[in-house]
Structure formats: structure tokens, C-alpha cells
Amino acid sequence: MKKLLIFLSLIIAIYLIGQLALNSHTVQDRILNIGLKNILSNSEPFLDKEDSLKVVICGSRSPLPSPGRAESCVLVEAGDDIYIFDMGNGSVNNLQEFQVPWTNVKAVLITHMHSDHMADLPDAHLQSWIQGRNSPLMVYGPVGINLVTKGFELAYSADYQYRNEHHGEEILPMSVSGFNAVEIIDNELIPNDTPGLEILPFVVDHHPVNSSFGFKVSYKGRTVVISGDTIHDGSVQKYSQDIDLLVHSAISIDIVERMRKVAPTPQFNKILFDIQDYHTKIEEAGEIARDANVKHLLIYHSIPTPRNTIMERVFFRPLEGIYEDYTLSDDGTRVVMPVGNNEIVIDKIN
Ligand SMILES: [Zn+2]
Ligand SMILES: [Zn+2]
């Protein structure tokens, strides 16, 4: 009993000393300075030494809200060069948290011009400008992409000028502000200077979107296909034959129909009905992966993105008996495919 009392007194004393210390300005200053150094010192560099094809999901959700997730964004790293496919809302914040070096980002590629695939382009412009981009931000996209970038340039023209005047021409030069928009042509390789890299765009069907692309990326024998938003029209399957990784969007008709039954407004009910006719069903994504002999299927832009284990199980229920090598991506899911072997390593950036 006596020992217990001594022990409890000791705990209380340590707690009180701790509380007093946290109120001390000197202790607060020391802790804060260590924290700031950790945040800014880039202690875990994004790039590593291994020569590989890497995919990092920088936005895993569709426009339907899901806590802790950004809208569509897929980062592909080939060697030291980075290409980012789509930039939905919240994705640039993720890229900042992952400490992606913007000077290594060679281009942004937009699959189609729905807002959930390009809303963060202005933030990408700012962050890459701050980190020393030496030319306007390179953006590939469907026909009309130049109207999007021109619109952003107009909307942010005052912002560009304020920042240039405040920080100076040397830090944020006006000559590199803005975008360099180039239209994607079906089946024509995206020009790049990364040795061993091929980026092949192909048309997918996301009607009434009149121009929408998927991409096949090949790097020194490793391959990934990104579906973008599409119905199952055969094109993703055609380009996914024997690839390592298929990053596919998918809809659960079962869950969307359940949501319709409890939709709070007729408008939301109608939208939940309409979206069912221009996305690939989860079971179709599984069939594509199976029939194309894909090594692994990574689901992103899930509609709706599961919020817990039960919802995830129901979402993937239609895949039972069709295809088993799948993963539901989170923001930060990373897939590493080293050059020279067949390994596929899946982990998460924390
Ligand atoms: Zn979308
Ligand atoms: Zn879309």
C-alpha cells in the first residue's frame, strides 16, 4: 500500500513538473524550434536511389466527399522524373505533405476536363513557382485545355503580380508564370526527356465528356495503365494486356443505389442516377484485370469511396470469384516496381 502511494505521488509529481515545463517560454521555444526544423528539413526525401517505376496516389476519391481524401491525382515517378496525372481538389496539399520536389515534375497530364481532375492546377502553379520552376508549368490535356489554363491565368493574374512584386523577379519571375498547355493526340506518345520512358495516351468513353484519355506508361520493362474516367468500352483492357499495374476508377452500383434511397434532395438523387452511366462498374474493373492478365489492380476514384471496413467489403463484394489481386488506394498509397525484376511492392507514404 505504501509502495503504491509513493508510486502515485511520483506520477503526480512528474505530471505537475511536465505541466509547469510546458508553461515555460524557454521549453515552448525549444520544442517549437525542433518541430519547425523537422517540418522544413525535408528529412525523408521523396526520391530514392532505386531505379524503378513508382506510382503514388495523390488523390483517391471521386467528387463524392470522403474524409481525409483528395480528388483524383496519380503521380508516376520514372527514375528521378515525375509526371502527375490529374490534379483534383486537395491533391496539391497531399503533394506538399509528401514533400514532392516540384523541380523534378516534368509535366501535369489531365485525363479530361471535369473539375475533380483539374481544380488544383492553380495551386500546382504556385507551389512549383515557389520551388524554382524555370519555365511555365507544362500541362497536357484534351482539346480545349488551353482555354482552361488561359482561364486560370486570367483569374490569377493579380495573384501572379502581387507575388512577383512582393518577393521580387529573382524569386518569382513573371517570365515563368502561367502554363504551357499542349493538346493530347490519341495514340501519339507524350514527348519527354526521361530515358526509357514512354507515355501513351488513348481515348476512353466518358460521354458526354467529348474528349477523355487513359494512359499507358512504360519504363524499362515495367508498366502501368491509368484509366481516367470511363465506361468499360474495351480500350483500357486493350492497353492493359500483361501490364504490372492497372490504376482504375470504379463505381459500386449497389452502394450508389442504396444512397439514392436515402438521398436528402431530389437533385442529389438525380445526380446519383446519372453518374451510373459513365463509369466502369467495380466488377467490370475486375473482369478487365482478369482478362488482360494484369498483375495488380489498384482502385482509385471509387464511387463512393468506402469510409470504413464494412463499406469497403460491400464495395468489393462483386469482385468475389472474378479477381483477387486488388487494393483500394488511399491518399499516399505507393506502388514500387523496381527495374529488372517482377516485384510489386505496395506501401503507404506516412
Ligand atoms: Zn472524375
Ligand atoms: Zn469525369
Give the pLDDT of residue 38. Answer: 78
Ligand approaching nearest to the C-alpha of 88: 1
Burial class of residue 45 in the structure, from the number of CB atoms within 10 Å of its CB (0-12 exposed, 13-18 middle, 19+ buried): exposed
Kindly give the distance from the C-alpha atom of residue 315 to the centroid of ligand 1, in angstroms, as a whole number.
18
Q: Which ligand is nearest to the CA of 86?
A: 1
Query: What pTM was computed for the model?
Result: 0.92
User: Ligand 1 center to residue 89 CA distance, Å?
Assistant: 11
Task: From first to last of the 350 residues of the chain, give the pLDDT tens digit.
Answer: 788 888 888 888 888 887 888 888 998 889 888 888 877 775 567 888 889 999 999 999 999 999 999 999 999 999 999 999 999 999 999 999 999 999 999 999 999 999 999 999 999 999 999 999 999 999 999 999 999 999 999 999 999 999 999 999 999 999 999 999 999 999 999 999 999 999 999 999 999 999 999 999 999 999 999 999 999 999 999 999 999 999 999 999 999 999 999 999 999 999 999 999 999 999 999 999 999 999 999 999 999 999 999 999 999 999 999 999 999 999 999 999 999 999 999 999 97
Q: Where are the domains of the chain?
A: 52-348
Biggest distance spanned by C-alpha atoms of the chain: 82
Q: How confident is the model at residue 40, as a pLDDT? A: 75
- Among the bound ligands, the one closest to the CA of 231: 2
Neighbour count for residue 178 (Cβ, 10 Å): 19
Q: How far is CA 260 from the centre of its chain?
A: 28
Task: Provide the grid cell at 310.
Answer: 464494412
Sign, Cα dihedral of 184, 190, 193, 194? positive
- What cell does 17 get? 513538473
CATH architecture of 52-348: 4-Layer Sandwich (3.60)
Rounded CA-CA distance 237/204 in Å is 11
Q: Considering every ligand atom shown, identify the ligand nearest to the alpha carbon of residue 59 and give its number.
A: 1
Cα-to-centroid distance, 284 and ligand 1 (Å): 17
| H or E segment to which residue 108 belongs | strand 105-109
CA–centroid distance, residue 342 to ligand 2 (Å): 32
Q: How far is the CA of 108 from the centre of ligand 2 (A)?
A: 17
Give me ligand 2 centre to Cα 114, in Å.
Answer: 5
CB neighbourhood size of 107 (10 A): 19
Set of cell numbers at residue 152: 486560370
State in Å: Cα 209 to ligand 2 middle.
7
Residue 9 confidence (pLDDT)? 84
Q: What is the whole-number distance in angstroms between the Cα of residue 227 and the centre of ligand 1?
A: 11
C-alpha separations of 94 from 35, 51, 295, 331 in Å: 20, 24, 27, 8
pLDDT value at position 310? 96
Cα(302) to ligand 1 centroid in Å equals 9
The rounded distance, in Å, linking the Cα atoms of 329 and 316 is: 13
Residue written as grid cell 529573382: 170
Instruction: Give the DSSP letter string of 268-327.
Output: HHHHHHHGGGSS-BHHHHHHHHHHTT-SEEEEEEEESPP-SHHHHHHHHGGGTTT---EE
C-beta of residue 217 within 8 angstroms of C-beta of residue 78: yes
Ligand 1 center to 114 CA (angstroms): 6
Closest ligand relative to 113 C-alpha: 2
